Structure formats: C-alpha cells, structure tokens
Structure 1
Amino acid sequence: MKVIVFDTKPYDRKYLDKENERYGFEIKYIEGKLTPDTAKLAAGYDVVCAFVNDDIGAATIDVLVDVGVRAIAMRCAGYNNVDIRHAFGKIHVVRVPKYSPFAVAEHAIALLMTLNRRIHRAYLRTRDGNFNLNGLLGFDMHGKIVGVVGTGQIGRCFIDICRGFGMQVLAYDPYPNPNAGIEYVSIDELLSRSDVVSLHCPLTAETHHLIDAKRLSLMKPNAVIVNTSRGALIDSAALIEALKDGAIGGAALDVYEEEAQYFFEDHSNDVIKDDQLTRLLSFNNVLVTSHQAFFTHEALEKIAEVTFENIANLSAFRGNRETYLANEVCYQCEKFGGDCPKKNHKNCF
C-alpha cells in the first residue's frame, strides 16, 4: 500500500515510522495541510492520511477520487472536517475512534487547575522576581459542582478524576448511560447549577455552537468553562461578550473554532489577524493551549497503531464487499443514527 500523510510534524513521523516497521507501507510525508489544491499530490497513492485541521470537503474528495485514492485514513477520532455525505459511495473514510481518553481528560483537569489557581500567571511572576499573591486567588475544587457535557470514554475519565477531588458531578448526554452511576440533567439545568462546565462531545450539526449566548447567560457568574473537544462547540463571539460582561468566571480552551489557520504552527513572529483569537488571549481569566490535549507518548503510539491497522484492513478489504471494515465512518449509518438499515454497513458503500 502507498500512503501519503498530510499535515505532519517530526513527532508524527517518529511514531508513524516506528509503527510502519511492522507493515512496510510506502509512505510519503507532507508538511502542509490537505486542501483541494494539495490533494493532487496524492496521485498514485492508495490512501491519504489526514488530521483534524485538514480540509476534507467535497472539493478535496473529488480530487482524491479523480486521482485514484481509495481511502482517507483519519489519524484522530473526530471527523467534523470530512464531508462524509459527499464521500459516501466514492471513497472510504476510516478513523481512530479512541486512543487515550486519559490524555484528554487529564489535560482538561490541568487546564482547569491552572486557570483556577492562576499557575500560568504565578509562573511568569516568580521568574521576574515578583512574589506578590494579588490576583492569584482561586477556589477549592472539593465540594464544587462540575457539569460534564458528553459521557463517552473521555467524559467518564474526566468524571472519575473530578470525583477524586470530591466534586459533585452532573452530566448531559443525548444518549445517557444508565449504568454509569451519573446524575443526568438537561443541558440548561447543568449550565445553571455547575461551578465548572467541561465539554466532551463531538462536533456535529446539532452541537455546533451548543454553548451560545443564551446558554452562557445561564451559567453562574464565577463559573468556568473548559473545552478540549472541538472549538465550534462554543460560539466564540458570545463567549467574548460573556467574559467582557463578567457573566462567567473564565474559560480554559484547548480548541478554537477558527484554529486551523494558527494551531500546530509557530506564529510568534507574526501578527495574529484573527480578532476573536487575539481578544480571547487578552483576557487574564482565559487560558488557551493549541489543541494539545491528545499529545502524550501513549496517545501518539495508539494513534499510529490504529491508523496502520486501518490501512492494513483496507488492503485486505480489496474486492471483498461482504467483509465489515472496522472503524469506517459511514454516512448511511450516521443518517440512521448509527443503526444502519443494511446491517453492519457492509453493503452501504
């Protein structure tokens, strides 16, 4: 199998190369993102491997199909940047449904604790010889109410950690887990009761701007919101207004809805032209990291492992339409709420 991998950094190549020792695929790495313009570079390759901020819309898919690419292998769990409806019947899309829920959950906790106790500000102060505590006051996490939106593996890991701090847990999920021992409430009740809100859900048409101006207005004035999922779950303009008005206590963000232009790259010598991003960075009660929640040794190992398993499965899948393709994203299945009418989606394509 010939594989072309877009949007790669040295750390990606390190883990992918190590895993490829088991398979011997012919691999070409591209530093740039996958777009309609760069998709033509995939000519002659069987599989395109892409990441969270690649543009895999209809135009890109058409180019990939035209140059003979059989599949898109996402090396991430989310696929909101893939037009799966347009891909349906033309090209396979596979993903890494889980890698390390601990990595993301632990980063969410790290963001929360750093923002709450102002550790990022204290670090800079002490390096300058300033040992003043003014402006660094936080709150006890013990006894506080944490509202968790999304109780998949990452959400449940986050809940376990919060319970270790002695926090009371509320949760919202359109598909509640009756065996999880979690108190489920409506999202509006969760927002109004919680001292901390943490988002752990996918970005879909239904969850786009799930946290908008109306829902931000429901939150307690001192409440903190944490987002390690997808940026567009929060309406950034509405969040800025809420922060300006003092309507919420702060925000800890590992993702941003227009992050593709900046995240994963060094822009320290550039002018940041995204006014919303620069405004968010200007608040002393906002903490932003650059989509690094996944970034642990264990997670990168697992991403490489499952990505190449998916590619190997694609190789074995050639010409055998009666075999179920693991980790495939299927528009037909999505359309029917995950209950594919053709059973196991083996005949959907």
Structure 2
Amino acid sequence: MTTILTAGDLFVRPTHFADAVRAAVADPSALKFTELTSSWPLEPFGPVENVEEASGAVDELIAALQGVEVAVTQMAPFSARVFEACPDLRFIGVCRGGPVNVDIDAATEAGVLVSNAPGRNAQAAAEFAVGLMLAALRHVPPADAELRAGTWRGDYYTWENAGRELGGETVGLVGLGSISRITARILQAFGAVVIAHDPYAEPEPGVELVDLDELLVRSGVVSLHARLTPETHHLINSERLHRMRPGALLVNTARGGLLDHRPLPDLLASGHLGGLALDVYDVEPPPEDWPLLSAPNVVLSPHLAGATRQTAERATEIIAEEVARFLGDAECRHTVNPGARAKARR
C-alpha cells in the first residue's frame, strides 16, 4: 500500500488530485490517500523558510507527511527542513510550471524525485494576456466603471481618445515559451504582426525573432512572458522603458519582478507609455498607496491569468500521469531533478 498526501488548496483541491491519480494508475486499490488544504488563494502565497511562492505551514506539512511516500501539491512549502524530517518521502508532484515552492537541492540530496506540470495554464494565460491587451486598447474597464456611475463617455469616439486595434499592430513578446507561443497564434488570428525576443527559443511560424531593443522600438504592444530568474529580474528597466515606442501599451502577465515599476507613473503621465495592463506585481497584493492604482490608462487584475477550471484539471492530470509512471518504475516525463533517482530511498 502506497500512501499519497494530496496537499491541495482552494483552487486545486485535494479531491482533484486524488481523483486524477485514481484514474491514472493501474491499481487504485493499492493506494491510500491523506489530505491537507492550504488557504491559497484567499491568502496570498509568499516565501516560506527557504522556498518561494508557497502557502501553508512547514510544521503542519511535516506532520502530514509522516509515513507518506508520494506527495502531490501546488503550493505546499517543501523547504529543506521537510526533507530532513520526512525520510519516507520518495516523490513530489508539483502541478505548476516552476516548482519554486520546493527546495530542489534538498530534494535531490534526499533522493526525492520532483516532477512539475509544464504548460498546464498556457492556454488560460495566453487568452488572458490578449484579453488585457483588448481591454486596455479599447478602454473597456474605465468605460464600464464610468457608465455604471452614470457617465456616458461619448468622447471615446473622438479621434484623440479613440482606441486601437490589434489587427495590423506590431506586438512584441518578451519570452517565447509555451504561453507566448499560444499568445502569438491568437494574435496572428487578429491580424497582428508578431515579433519576439528570447535568446533560448526555437523559431515559431510567423514570428520574427529580434533582439530586445529592436522589439521595444518597433512594438505598439509589448507583452512580457519570460521566466523570472536573476538574469531577467528588472529586464524591463527605466532605460528600456524609455526606448519603447511612444504611446505603446505594456502588458505583464508573467512575473512582477520582470518589470521595474518605479518609472511607470511618470511615463504614463507624460504619455510616453500609452497604457499599462498588469496581472502581476513586485509585491502581491500591492499596497493601498501604490501610485499605479490611481495612474491614468492602467488596467489591473489580481494575478488571474491562470485561473480557469481547465487549468486545475489539466494540472492534476499531468501530475497524476507522473505519479503513475513513478509507481510503475517508468521514467517520468517532467522530472526536474533526475539526479535524485540515483539516491532514491527504496
């Protein structure tokens, strides 16, 4: 009998994990499930001990992991202390693209394999990025708020205030991973000209790869899709923001740390930056006195790009297949630390 901890939250629930694993394995009767639920997303994720973007208490997780060989989660904090205290653990499935809530070095040293779920929210995030572009380009949020307040903004039909179309516009994608590639295909269907910057990417049909400075100069819309690493932290800084085409729209649905937020209020007020659409922030949630909350031409959403039911279902299905492969002694497809297998405790 293999004991599996389903460490879920209020988006990917423990029952989602358990149902997906039962459907994926050859003999569900050989499994025993226990569960733990964190309060994310009603409480924001954050750093927990030495891991990032995690939710829950380490001591509570350690208690739940006693006698557990397999754990599946989205946000549980698998810090270094967890691996020291849980000698039975052999496998962790993390249903997100980057398992930053797991100390991968500690897992590898302990012989615990870790798999992730790349692409689980790619469709949702791509659709949302394009939705933010449309909302910002066509003044949808302010027009809605003003109409509800009793103001009919007929001046949005004047030449000076009229919106812009995606068709015929040049859209620059910073990063060309799974989300960005879907975004590019959606934009091409609108008739946009799509260019991208990613020094590690393979070509995508219909997308011209360019250097970052060229992308900023040419694009009427710039959308961020890169991973946040030490190399990409504040990739779009003050100097690069000033290189953007005057009046361009900047969209960020990736990670807040890609963007230096400090110059943005002045760039919006001057009109150099024509609009800003954000789903992610350097601090989440942003403080009540954050200048961008009252800045002009800004569309904001609370980190919703991946928030679809299909994302949750897809994520658990990917991880359930990884669990099935692990339990069947097959090679997992999405292991992030294959070196752990040599040390795995059997």
Give the alignment's TM-score, normalised by structure 1: 0.79
Q: What amino acid is the match of 1:89?
A: E
- Greater strand percent: which structure? 2
Alpha-carbon distance change, 87 to 115 in structure 1, aligned in 2, over 3 angstroms: same
Q: What amino acid is the match of 1:9?
A: L
Distance (Å, rounded) in 1 between the aligned partners of 2:154 and 2:15: 42
Q: How does 1:79-98 map to 2 (within 5 A)?
A: 79-90=99-110, 91-98=112-119
Aligned residues of 1:85 and 1:331 also touching (Cα < 8 A): no
Distance (Å, rounded) in 2 between the aligned partners of 1:287 and 1:13: 34
| CA deviation after TM superposition for structure 1 residue 190, in Å | 0.6
| CA deviation after TM superposition for structure 1 residue 76, in Å | 0.9
Distance (Å, rounded) in 1 between the aligned partners of 2:282 and 2:72: 22
Distance (Å, rounded) in 2 between the aligned partners of 1:281 and 1:37: 37
1:289 paired residue number: 301
Distance (Å, rounded) in 1 between the aligned partners of 2:72 and 2:257: 23
Q: What amino acid is the match of 1:46?
A: E
Alpha-carbon distance change, 123 to 304 in structure 1, aligned in 2, over 3 angstroms: same
1:74 aligns with 2:75: no
**Residue 34 of structure 1 is aligned with which of 50, 56, 59?**
56
2:153 paired residue number: 132
2:65 paired residue number: 43
| CA deviation after TM superposition for structure 1 residue 35, in Å | 4.6
SS state at 2:195 partner: strand
2:82 paired residue number: 63
1:222 paired residue number: 247
Aligned pair count reads 315
Alpha-carbon distance change, 134 to 157 in structure 1, aligned in 2, over 3 angstroms: same
Deviates more, 1:206-215 or 1:110-119: 206-215
Q: What amino acid is the match of 1:42?
A: A
1:190 aligns with 2:212: no
Aligned residues of 1:4 and 1:30 also touching (Cα < 8 A): no
**Residue 144 of structure 1 is aligned with which of 153, 164, 169?**
169
| CA deviation after TM superposition for structure 1 residue 134, in Å | 3.5
Distance (Å, rounded) in 2 between the aligned partners of 1:210 and 1:289: 22
Distance (Å, rounded) in 1 between the aligned partners of 2:13 and 2:266: 37
Aligned residues of 2:224 and 2:252 also touching (Cα < 8 A): yes
**Residue 126 of structure 2 is aligned with which of 86, 92, 105?**
105
| CA deviation after TM superposition for structure 1 residue 244, in Å | 4.7
Distance (Å, rounded) in 2 between the aligned partners of 1:229 and 1:97: 14
Q: Which runs of 5+ in 2 are unaligned?
A: 40-54
SS state at 1:73 partner: strand
Identity %: 32
Deviates more, 1:174-183 or 1:303-312: 174-183
Aligned residues of 1:42 and 1:64 also touching (Cα < 8 A): no
Alpha-carbon distance change, 295 to 283 in structure 1, aligned in 2, over 3 angstroms: same
SS state at 2:250 partner: strand
Distance (Å, rounded) in 2 between the aligned partners of 1:47 and 1:238: 46
Aligned residues of 2:6 and 2:18 also touching (Cα < 8 A): no
Alpha-carbon distance change, 348 to 168 in structure 1, aligned in 2, over 3 angstroms: farther
2:192 paired residue number: 167
1:16 paired residue number: 17
Q: Which runs of 5+ in 1 are unaligned?
A: 263-271, 318-322, 333-344
Q: Deviations over 1:223-282 (max 9, x none)?
A: 1111222221212334445335543122212222322xx4xxxxxxxxx6465xx33322
Alpha-carbon distance change, 7 to 28 in structure 1, aligned in 2, over 3 angstroms: closer
Distance (Å, rounded) in 2 between the aligned partners of 1:10 and 1:177: 33
Give the alignment's TM-score, normalised by structure 2: 0.79
Q: Give RMSD over aligned pairs.
A: 2.9
Q: What amino acid is the match of 2:74?
A: F
Aligned residues of 1:149 and 1:199 also touching (Cα < 8 A): yes
Aligned residues of 2:277 and 2:298 also touching (Cα < 8 A): yes
1:158 paired residue number: 183
Alpha-carbon distance change, 296 to 40 in structure 1, aligned in 2, over 3 angstroms: same
Aligned residues of 1:212 and 1:239 also touching (Cα < 8 A): no
SS state at 1:326 partner: coil
Q: Deviations over 1:105-145 (max 9, x none)?
A: 11111111011111112222222332223466311222211
Distance (Å, rounded) in 2 between the aligned partners of 1:50 and 1:220: 42
